[in-house]
Amino acid sequence: MSTTTTTTADTAAPGSPGSARVDLGSLKVVHTRHWFRWTLAAIVVFVVAQFAWSLVTNGRYEWDVFAHYFFSEPVLQGLGLTLAFTAITTVIGFAIGTLLALARLSRSPLLNSAAWIYIWFFRSVPLVVQLVVWYNLGYLYPTLGLGTPFTTDFWIVEFPTVQLISAFAAGVLGLSLHQAAYSAEIIRGGLLSVDQGQTEASAALGLPPSRRLGRIILPQAARTIIPNASNEIIGLVKGTSVLFIIAVPELFYAVQVIYNRNSRVIPLLLVAVVWYTIITTILSIGQYYIERYYARGSVRVLPPTPIQQAKHWIAVQWARLGDDPKSPPPLEGADAPPVPSVTRSGSNNDTIGGL
């Protein structure tokens, strides 16, 4: 049994109003007008253009001073220290945070309580206070070492605290231990986001706990952990500016020293702002591709990258100009928009479907 479907234009009697076929290609396309969206866009463009104009015309920015100090040796040395502190404290902080997260999920009341007290304490005390305490630890403990327990008889090894904990060591300790408390909660939240059935299934297969965690749980938890962890790392880059309180010559401290000498406050602060922006941009790009990598477990086809989207947009615009006889290939990805097709009529006019 077959069903034949015909349109009104095909079945109408000759001479009737519906007998003429309608050439859809000859119809004029009227796009929806989004007046509210266009108004907001115009306001945003105006504000951005006004700010850009002020950057060029306002001489108080002193862009010549900015250019002179942007690649100066003290600034680059401070930038290197900022990156070093960020890398070291990120590794140490997330390593300790992972152990604390596992302790918080442990069935041992002692480990659970100890991890909770650590997180509670280091989230309660401001970072500046922690840095000052670590820097002045020699006031409380003049010497540190190993020896007889519960005594100050360090007969194995002994160090003066002032020499052992320098400004650099105090900065690493303060930032790392502070970061570990926040990292622990981020990692714990990611582990809890994984369905309990994953743990039960891997246990039923006989996998040891370490392999269950490293091969089954953590890769799935990474989709939840990475956005928050990346946010913490970016915050840590800017958080290193607090180290000026203990005279560590990182980027912000180096800029402060320079503008205290020449009184060029704004251009020197712009130097720090631009460098922090560059670092944050690089880390944000890395975050995007790491998230995209771990998204393979949740989507069938990875969404297109910004570079792929830009290439596809250029190909579509080129096809619309009529210089390419073939339609561009479809953009692969879960959120890829439909690709307009290019067809040619008998004349030189091009009709593009999907508009």
**pLDDT over 70 (residue 27):** yes
The C-alpha atoms of residue 175 and residue 255 are separated, in whole angstroms, by 21
Position 30 confidence tier, pLDDT thresholds 50, 70, 90:
confident
Cα–Cα distances (Å) from 68 to 192, 264, 271, in that order, read 51, 12, 10
**DSSP strand pairing (143-146 vs 342-344):** unpaired
**pLDDT over 80 (residue 298):** no
Would you state the pLDDT for residue 351? 40
Position 292 confidence tier, pLDDT thresholds 50, 70, 90:
confident
Q: What is the pLDDT of residues 89-132, one digit of tens each?
A: 999 999 999 999 999 998 899 999 999 999 999 999 999 999 99
Would you state the pLDDT for residue 103? 94
Would you state the pLDDT for residue 145? 84
Are the CB atoms for 217 and 198 separated by under 8 Å? yes
**pLDDT over 90 (residue 269):** yes
Alpha helix ranges (H) inside the chain: 8-11, 35-57, 63-70, 73-104, 109-124, 127-135, 137-140, 161-164, 167-193, 196-204, 209-211, 218-239, 251-262, 265-294, 306-320
Would you state the pLDDT for residue 17? 53
Q: Which helix (H) or strand (E) holds 171?
A: helix 167-193
Position 303 confidence tier, pLDDT thresholds 50, 70, 90:
confident
Q: What is the pLDDT of residues 204-241, one digit of tens each?
A: 888 888 888 888 888 888 888 999 999 999 999 999 99
The C-alpha atoms of residue 222 and residue 191 are separated, in whole angstroms, by 8
Would you state the pLDDT for residue 281? 95
The C-alpha atoms of residue 175 and residue 182 are separated, in whole angstroms, by 11
How many CB atoms lie under 10 A from the CB of residue 108? Answer: 10
The C-alpha atoms of residue 114 and residue 278 are separated, in whole angstroms, by 39
CA angle, residues 37, 40, 43, in degrees to nearest 5: 150
Q: What is the pLDDT of residues 147-168, one digit of tens each?
A: 888 887 888 888 888 888 889 9
Cα–Cα distances (Å) from 220 to 91, 193, 213, in that order, read 21, 9, 10
Q: Which helix (H) or strand (E) holds 260?
A: helix 251-262
Would you state the pLDDT for residue 328? 67
**pLDDT over 50 (residue 339):** no
Would you state the pLDDT for residue 53? 95
The C-alpha atoms of residue 175 and residue 177 are separated, in whole angstroms, by 6
Percent residues over pLDDT 70 in the chain: 84
CA 214 centroid distance within chain: 23
Mean pLDDT taken over the chain? 84
Is pLDDT larger for residue 92 or for residue 312?
A: 92
Would you state the pLDDT for residue 271? 96
Is pLDDT larger for residue 259 or for residue 197?
A: 259
Q: Which two tokens stand for residue 166?
A: 């320098």
